[in-house]
């Protein structure tokens, strides 16, 4: 397995493709806009003319796409991967999508002679750049074993979590936790500011105790600085919590806190904050506290 195709060279896909190049793979990239492809070529990869070209040339195809309809189109469409794939192709979807979509793609892939895995990731842009992503993988164990060297090139924590769609279910749980932590960290920071406590010192000591968490470690300082350059956009986290709530409904599980966070993200999007990093939920919490007006679109 030497030639790897990557479809979707966005915030996450581009650094993942670059890390595969660094690991010695022959990487073929395709993206709807040409700029990311040109940057991949400059980093040592190769350009593809489209999805069929990637599928026909690659031993493994990795998709890093925004949502379920995008994955369906790229994998199952008339010019999709499965129409042009080699027999035995590894089809690894790093996107965060509905578990039922992953299961449908897996069924179609096996009928076409491909080996599917759903492998959503956590760690944000920083994790993608550093090759330190957490990857939760659903699918058959033997296919996971075949793809493990690819996962090791882009991730640090790589775990096979179950059958088709299991990776997406674990990712839904991941996004529930991350969203809830961002919300409560936002509330805590606004409380500290309103109380006149030096927030930098407070953040330092909070990071060292039981309250310490990755949101504060990675995003705490930028939240205090009101800097929200997107590593993972509010729009995408809103989509992900919709998936989590759908899974909860299908399984009969009550998730009241996730429902509240989802509503906060909806309100943030309505205020024009959807393109900012999900830590910009702080701006909505700040507004609700009467501390400042919503700063629409501020990065």
The Cβ of residue 267 has, within 10 Å, a number of other Cβ atoms equal to 15
Question: Which sign, positive or negative, has the C-alpha torsion 259, 260, 261, 267?
Answer: positive
> Is 171 one of the annotated active-site residues of the chain?
yes
Q: How far apart are CA 223 and CA 214, in angstroms?
A: 13
Which of 22, 141, 171, 207 is an active site residue?
Answer: 171
Q: How far apart are CA 76 and CA 56, in angstroms?
A: 15
Pairing of strands 121-122, 90-93: unpaired
Instruction: Give the length of the chain.
Output: 299
Q: 150 and 27 in contact (C-beta within 8 Å)?
A: no
Alpha carbon 264 to its chain's center: 20
Which region holds residue 32: left if phi is over 0, alpha if psi is between -120 and 50, else beta? alpha
Which residues are known catalytic residues?
A: 171
């Amino acid at each position: 397995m030497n030639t790897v195709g990557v479809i979707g060279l966005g915030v996450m896909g581009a650094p993942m493709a670059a890390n595969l190049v660094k690991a010695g793979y022959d990487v073929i990239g395709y993206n709807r806009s040409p700029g990311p492809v040109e940057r991949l070529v400059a980093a040592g990869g190769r350009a593809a003319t489209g999805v069929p070209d990637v599928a026909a040339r690659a031993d493994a195809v990795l998709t890093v796409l925004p949502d379920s309809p995008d994955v369906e189109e790229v994998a199952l469409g008339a010019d999709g991967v499965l129409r042009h794939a080699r027999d035995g192709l590894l089809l690894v979807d790093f996107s965060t999508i509905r578990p039922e979509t992953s299961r449908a793609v897996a069924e179609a892939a096996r009928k076409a002679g491909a080996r599917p895995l759903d492998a959503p990731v956590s760690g944000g842009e920083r994790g993608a750049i550093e090759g330190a992503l957490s990857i939760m993988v659903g699918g058959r164990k033997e296919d996971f074993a075949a793809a493990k060297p690819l996962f090791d090139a882009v991730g640090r924590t790589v775990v096979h979590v179950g059958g088709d769609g299991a990776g997406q279910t674990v990712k839904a749980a991941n996004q529930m936790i991350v969203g809830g932590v961002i919300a409560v960290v936002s509330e805590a920071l606004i409380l500290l500011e309103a109380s006149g406590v030096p927030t930098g010192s407070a953040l330092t000591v909070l990071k060292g105790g039981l309250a310490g968490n990755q949101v504060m470690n990675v995003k705490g300082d930028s939240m205090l600085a009101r800097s929200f350059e997107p590593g993972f956009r509010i729009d995408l986290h809103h989509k992900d919590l919709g998936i989590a709530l759908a899974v909860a409904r299908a399984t009969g599980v009550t998730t009241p806190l996730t429902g509240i966070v989802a509503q906060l993200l909806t309100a943030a999007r309505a205020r024009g904050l959807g393109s900012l990093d999900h830590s910009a939920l702080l701006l909505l919490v700040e507004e609700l506290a009467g501390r400042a007006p919503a700063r629409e679109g501020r990065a």
